[in-house]
Amino acid sequence: MSYQVLARKWRPQLFDDLVGQEHVSQTLKNAITSDRVHHAFLFTGARGVGKTSAARIFAKALNCQDGSTTNPCGVCPSCIEITESRGIDVLEIDGASNTGVDDIRELRENIRYLPSQSRYKIFIIDEVHMLSINAFNALLKTLEEPPDHAKFIFATTEPHKIPITILSRCQRFDFKKIGLAPLQARLRYIVEQENITVADTGLEIIARSAGGSMRDALSTLDQVIAFCGDQIGDDELQGLLGLVSRALLLATIKAVLERNPGELLALVHKVDEHGHSFRQFCQQLVELVRGLVVIKVVEQPGDLIDAGETELNELRSLAATPSLDELQRLLVNLIGTEADLAVSNYPRLTMEMVLVKLAELPAAIDVATLVQRLLALEQQLADGLPAAPVRAPVKAAAPAPPADIPLPEEPKTVVVEVPVVGTSGDRNWFGLVEFVKARRKHGISSLLEQSSLLLLELPRVRIGMPVRYFGLVDNEKRQTIQALAAEYFGADVNIEIEKIGNGDKAPPSLHEERAQQESDRQKKLRENAIEHPLVKSAVEIFGGKITTVKPIDKGFV
């Protein structure tokens, strides 16, 4: 006889075997006991949680030769045929393979005939959401007026894709994901029956990797047995499944909370050394931090966290130090990193950098503390904090030099007046550039702003133009500049344009003068802000530092 996989061998055969679906089992048993069995049922839920198994058990309960019973015998011809999926009166149809209207019309023709040897003719349609709209419409009439001998059981993982007209004619049962504890208990029972030796921690790893699916858990157990044999060790198990050990995950979060980037790099090295997927590592970290958040807000998490008592105590200890805001910030960063790792060419570097960044972030301050500090600042202001004095920035006094060293001369501001010959008033270089702007010669005015005035002795005007702009001035532009200058100065002008290299000394251009003025303005603005009493108080109260100063008054000088 060929090998039968565990998922089929240990498929539930009675209502009591349905792990984690007691609410469904009890309702169906009550319906049978009270003889109030509906004609159409919809079983919904994630994969591998028992929907099709429940449909078969329900079919056996209705057609068992012992009569409609909550505990089918399992040995009568009807029960055996249903168990082996060869029942004449119980038809299992794959909705994904029979999506067309012709398939449903054939089913409707079949419904007309009485069951050959059973009490009911039962139609189990798996993945019913895959049927086409026309197929659903063809099925609708049968569901509205079904024959007494027909029962329908639909199973789906996506109930939202089923038309509301179908949903309204079915009794709906939502199957839950199976919790970690019942899943682990069922695995323990199966490995004992199969004479397999595995620790509870190993079964917990398998159960956790299944994500609430019994079928996935049994398939994983099959794979592990094939690899490890009858003796399953935790290290082999984690290596096979590509999962990071729980101890390594806890150590990583602990190193982040203790602000230890060096330890984090060592832990990432271990993850890489064991060949684990960094994306899966990040996913496991997200799940772990979620558990810390739950513990932080719920005293008794119960089913909110899939963890045993030992692990719960470890999580409680780890969650005691950080604030809720800090954990939420950590969670947001890890979720973003998980998405980045999906497309990153350097997954280890990506993981390292985000963990180092999280370890270097300052501790989060909860809202209540911030409110208290704000209230304290408000009270200080109300009590009469002194107004900010208006004074020039104070420079530190330079140390006196030795007597034998002569004092350097004080730097002097040299004002160079360029003579303007043959003009009236105070017409100058700045006025010329503004005059050109007013004439909407923006290209020429931009060139002049970037240039330096070397000589202004009418009729000579000598302009120094940087190398990168010199090539832009052709003869036509030169003639235009000369005509505008003559109009501005009211006299004949001879424009001379020279090329200025990076090493040539020349007076600053108007553009450079404005940049220097803005730099001086920003420096003065920062000095005034830092010296302001309100700013000093805020920095002291919140324990912060000033990173950027922005003017709120455009007229500040």
pLDDT digit string, tens, across residues 161-188: 999 999 999 999 999 988 888 898 999 9
Q: Do both 528 and 497 map to the same domain? A: no
DSSP 61-120: HHH-TT-S-SS--S-SHHHHHHHTT--SSEEEEETTT--SHHHHHHHHHHHTSPPSSSS-
Cis amide leading into 182 (omega within 30): no
Cα distance between residue 538 and residue 385, in whole Å = 12
Per-residue CA distances from 71 to 13, 57, 152, 324 (Å): 9, 9, 20, 50
Tokens 């998980």 sit at which residue? Answer: 338
Does 394 fall in a domain?
Answer: no
Helices (H), 463-542: 467-470, 475-489, 510-531, 533-542
| Mean pLDDT within 58-67 | 89
pLDDT digit string, tens, across residues 142-159: 888 888 899 999 999 999
At 400, which amino acid appears? A
Q: Do both 43 and 148 map to the same domain? A: yes
pLDDT at 242: 66
Residue 200, CB-side half-sphere exposure with 13 Å CA sphere: 9
Cα distance between residue 89 and residue 84, in whole Å = 13
pLDDT at 556: 45
Cα distance between residue 450 and residue 472, in whole Å = 12
Does 550 fall in a domain?
Answer: yes
Cα distance between residue 378 and residue 538, in whole Å = 10
Q: Do both 497 and 378 map to the same domain? A: no
| Mean pLDDT within 392-419 | 42
| Mean pLDDT within 92-112 | 79
pLDDT digit string, tens, across residues 288-300: 999 899 988 887 7
Q: Do both 234 and 328 map to the same domain? A: no
Portion of the chain with pLDDT greater than 70, in percent: 87
Statement: residue 416 has pLDDT above 50: no
CATH number of the CATH domain containing 330? 1.20.272.10
Statement: residue 401 has pLDDT above 60: no
With cut-offs at 50, 70 and 90, classify the pLDDT of residue 425: low
Does 529 fall in a domain?
Answer: yes
Cα distance between residue 220 and residue 217, in whole Å = 5
Q: Do both 86 and 156 map to the same domain? A: yes
Q: Do both 39 and 69 map to the same domain? A: yes
SS3 281: helix
Q: Do both 275 and 316 map to the same domain? A: yes
- Count of other CB atoms within 10 angstroms of residue 532: 14
Region of 48 please: left (phi>0), alpha (psi -120 to 50) or beta: left
pLDDT at 379: 73
Does 376 fall in a domain?
Answer: yes
Does 420 fall in a domain?
Answer: no
With cut-offs at 50, 70 and 90, classify the pLDDT of residue 271: confident
> What is the model's pTM?
0.57
Is the Cβ–Cβ distance between 529 and 549 less than 8 Å? yes
With cut-offs at 50, 70 and 90, classify the pLDDT of residue 397: very low
CATH number of the CATH domain containing 474? 3.30.300.180
Statement: residue 278 has pLDDT above 50: yes
SS3 408: coil
Does 207 fall in a domain?
Answer: yes
Listed in sequence order, the residues at least 6 apart from 390 whose beta carbon sits closer than 8 Å to its beta carbon are none
Cα distance between residue 120 and residue 116, in whole Å = 9
- CA dihedral for 342, 346, 352, 353, sign (positive or negative): negative
Per-residue CA distances from 527 to 385, 397, 506 (Å): 20, 17, 31
Q: Do both 42 and 27 map to the same domain? A: yes
Lowest mean pLDDT among 201-215, 233-247, 253-267, 343-357: 233-247
Is the Cβ–Cβ distance between 45 and 176 less than 8 Å? yes
> What is the domain count for the chain?
5
Q: Do both 100 and 217 map to the same domain? A: no
Is the Cβ–Cβ distance between 260 and 272 less than 8 Å? no
pLDDT at 411: 39
Statement: residue 555 has pLDDT above 70: no
Does 402 fall in a domain?
Answer: no
Portion of the chain with pLDDT greater than 90, in percent: 21
Domain boundary residue, one of 328, 360, 392? 360
Domain boundary residue, one of 131, 147, 174? 174
Cα distance between residue 206 and residue 184, in whole Å = 8
| Mean pLDDT within 129-133 | 87
pLDDT at 231: 83
Q: Do both 315 and 346 map to the same domain? A: yes
Domain boundary residue, one of 119, 146, 174? 174
Q: Do both 13 and 61 map to the same domain? A: yes
Backbone angles phi, psi at 427, to 5 degrees: -65, 135
Looking at every residue in the chain, the average pLDDT score rounds to 81
Cα distance between residue 104 and residue 166, in whole Å = 14
pLDDT at 86: 83
Domain with 469, as residue range(s), is 429-506
Q: Do both 167 and 47 map to the same domain? A: yes
CATH number of the CATH domain containing 81? 3.40.50.300
Q: Which of 368, 268, 362, 282 is nearest to 322 (CA)?
A: 362
pLDDT at 383: 67
With cut-offs at 50, 70 and 90, classify the pLDDT of residue 363: low
Does 406 fall in a domain?
Answer: no
Statement: residue 407 has pLDDT above 60: no
Q: Which of 427, 377, 406 is nearest to 539 (CA)?
A: 377
CATH number of the CATH domain containing 198? 1.10.8.60
DSSP 290-330: HHHHHHHH-SS-GGGS---HHHHHHHHHHHTSS-HHHHHHH
First to last CA, the chain: 94
Beta bridge partners of 456: 461
pLDDT digit string, tens, across residues 25-34: 999 999 999 9
Statement: residue 392 has pLDDT above 70: no
Tokens of 391: 């004074």
SS3 455: strand
pLDDT digit string, tens, across residues 284-342: 899 899 989 998 888 777 777 777 667 788 888 888 888 888 888 899 999 999 988 98
Is the Cβ–Cβ distance between 108 and 142 less than 8 Å? yes
